[in-house]
C-alpha cells in the first residue's frame, strides 16, 4: 500500500512504511518509491562512476547509470534505480525491514534529494530557543553522540544524519529528514539512554526517535565541522575562512551525480552562498564523554549571535 510522507520539504509516496517520517498533506508526490521485486533488477554491469568505501575494502555503495537511470547498489543487499520522480528498489530477501528503512532514510534518500536539487549536509541538527546549530562530519565522527549529549542538557535534537539547508534573505534555514538519533552501545550507557531499535546493518548501533519537530524549518546560527582534538587539547571552536568553510562543506555534502559539471557548478555556488552567509566553524572535540559541558558552553556562546542573511 502506498502512503505519502514528508522527507525534508518533499512529498514521498512509498510502499515502504516509514514510522520515522511524518505524513505529508501535499496534493501530489515529488518522489515515488516502490518495490521492483516483481521485475528484474538492473544488471550488475551498469556504468559505474562512483564508489563509497567505509572501513572495509569492499565498496559499501556504488553509483552508476543504466538505461538512462541512476543505479545505487548497496553491496549485495539493496539496489535502487533512480529515474526521478520514480525510485525502484530491490532487496535481498534476508535484509530485515529495519535495515531496509535505515539504508533508504540515511543513505539513499539524502543523495536522491540532493539531486532534486537541494543542499543536503551530512550533519546532526540541534537547537536551543528555536535556533539551530548543525554538526557536520563523516560517519563515526561523533555527531549523534554529541547531539544526544546536548539533548540531555536541555537542547532539542532534531535529527542526526542528513539536513537540507537553504539560503534566503533572512539567512540559512535547515530541515531534517526525520526526527531520530542513532547511538552506539557505549554512548547509550554513558548517556543513560535505554532501549532503542537495533540498526542491524551497523553492528550494534541503535536508533531512537526524538520529539517531532514538525514540518517547520529552523534558522541556522552556525555550522560546526567536527575535528578530533589532540591528546592534551580541550574542546575548541574556531571560525573558518570562506575558503576553509567551502571546502569543509563540500566534504560533508551529499551528491548523487559526480559527473554532471553544470550541476556541480550549481552545487558549489549554493555551498559558497551558505559559507558566506552563515558562521562556519571547526569544532575540535576530545575523544570520550568528558568534554560535553565544555562543548555545550562553546555552542551556547555561539548561539548568542544570529547568522547573517545569505547573499
Q: How far is CA 304 from CA 131, 222, 243, in A?
A: 10, 11, 24
Give the sign of the dihedral formed by CA 276, CA 110, CA 199, CA 58: negative
Whole-Å CA distances, 288 to 145, 191, 210, 271, 285: 10, 12, 23, 31, 9
Say how far apart CA 122 and CA 138 lie, in whole Å: 7
Torsion region of 70: left, alpha or beta (phi above 0 gives left; psi -120 to 50 gives alpha): beta
Cis peptide before 277 (omega within 30 of 0): no
Q: What is the spatial distance between Cα 155 and Cα 146, in angstroms, rounded to a whole number?
A: 11
Sheet holding 3-7, edge to edge: 22-23, 3-7, 10-14, 31-35, 86-91, 78-83, 69-74, 59-66, 47-53
| Domains of the chain, each with CATH number or no CATH | 3-114 (no CATH), 119-302 (3.40.50)
Specify whether the CB–CB gap between 235 and 298 falls below 8 A: yes
Distances (CA, A) of 16 to 98, 105, 175, 250, 295: 11, 11, 22, 31, 38
Cell 558566506, residue located: 276
- Residue with more model confidence, 16 or 37: 16
pTM of the model: 0.89
Nearest Cα neighbor of 280 from 220, 240, 247, 234 is 240
Under 8 Å between Cβ of 277 and 308: yes
What's the chain's average pLDDT?
A: 87
Alpha carbons 198 and 98: distance in angstroms, whole number? 8
Of 140, 149, 111, 185, which is closest to residue 296 (Cα–Cα)?
A: 149
**How confident is the model at residue 168, as a pLDDT?**
86
Bridge partners for 77 per DSSP: none
Q: Which of 307, 302, 306, 300 lies closest to 150, judged by CA?
A: 300
Q: How far apart are CA 23 and CA 19, in angstroms?
A: 9
- 119-159 tens-digit pLDDT: 999 999 999 988 999 999 988 788 888 888 888 888 988 88
- Is the pLDDT confidence value at 185 over 80? no
In this predicted model, what pLDDT tens digit does every residue of 24-80 receive, in sequence order?
Answer: 999 999 999 999 977 788 877 899 999 988 766 678 999 999 999 999 999 989 999
Q: 165, 100, 172, 107: which is closest to 136 by C-alpha?
A: 165
The Cα–Cα gap between 299 and 147 comes to 12
Going by pLDDT thresholds of 50, 70 and 90, the confidence category of residue 104 is: very high
Amino acid at each position: 500500500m502506498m502512503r505519502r510522507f514528508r522527507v525534508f520539504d518533499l512529498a514521498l509516496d512509498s510502499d515502504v512504511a516509514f514510522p520515522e517520517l511524518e505524513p505529508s498533506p501535499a496534493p501530489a508526490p515529488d518522489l515515488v518509491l516502490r518495490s521492483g521485486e516483481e521485475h528484474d533488477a538492473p544488471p550488475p554491469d551498469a556504468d559505474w562512476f562512483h564508489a563509497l568505501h567505509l572501513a572495509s575494502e569492499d565498496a559499501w555503495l556504488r553509483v552508476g547509470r543504466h538505461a538512462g537511470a541512476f543505479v545505487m547498489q548497496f553491496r549485495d543487499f539493496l539496489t535502487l534505480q533512480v529515474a526521478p520522480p520514480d525510485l525502484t528498489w530491490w532487496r535481498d530477501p534476508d535484509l530485515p525491514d529495519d535495515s531496509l528503512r535505515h539504508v533508504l532514510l540515511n543513505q539513499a534518500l539524502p543523495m536522491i534529494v540532493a539531486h532534486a536539487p537541494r543542499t543536503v549536509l551530512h550533519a546532526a541538527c540541534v537547537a536551543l530557543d528555536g535556533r539551530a546549530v548543525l554538526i557536520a562530519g563523516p560517519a563515526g565522527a561523533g555527531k549523534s553522540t554529541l547531539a544526544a549529549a546536548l539533548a540531555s542538557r536541555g537542547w532539542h535534537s532534531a535529527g542526526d544524519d542528513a539536513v537540507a539547508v537553504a539560503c534566503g534573505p533572512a539567512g540559512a534555514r535547515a530541515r531534517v529528514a526525520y526526527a531520530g538519533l542513532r547511538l552506539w552501545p557505549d554512548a547509550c550507557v554513558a548517556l543513560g539512554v535505554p532501549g532503542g531499535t537495533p540498526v542491524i546493518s551497523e553492528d550494534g548501533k541503535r536508533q531512537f526517535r526524538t520529539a517531532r519537530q514538525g514540518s517547520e524549518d529552523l534558522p541556522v546560527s552556525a555550522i560546526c565541522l567536527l575535528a578530533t582534538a589532540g591528546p592534551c587539547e580541550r574542546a575548541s571552536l574556531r571560525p573558518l575562512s570562506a575558503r576553509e568553510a567551502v571546502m569543509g562543506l563540500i566534504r560533508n555534502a551529499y551528491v548523487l551525480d559526480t559527473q554532471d559539471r553544470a550541476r556541480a557548478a550549481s552545487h558549489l555556488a549554493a555551498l559558497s552562498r551558505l559559507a558566506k552567509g552563515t558562521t562556519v566553524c571547526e569544532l575540535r572535540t576530545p575523544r570520550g564523554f568528558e568534554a560535553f559541558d565544555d562543548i555545550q558552553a562553546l555552542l551556547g556562546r555561539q548561539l548568542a549571535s544570529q547568522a547573517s542573511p545569505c547573499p
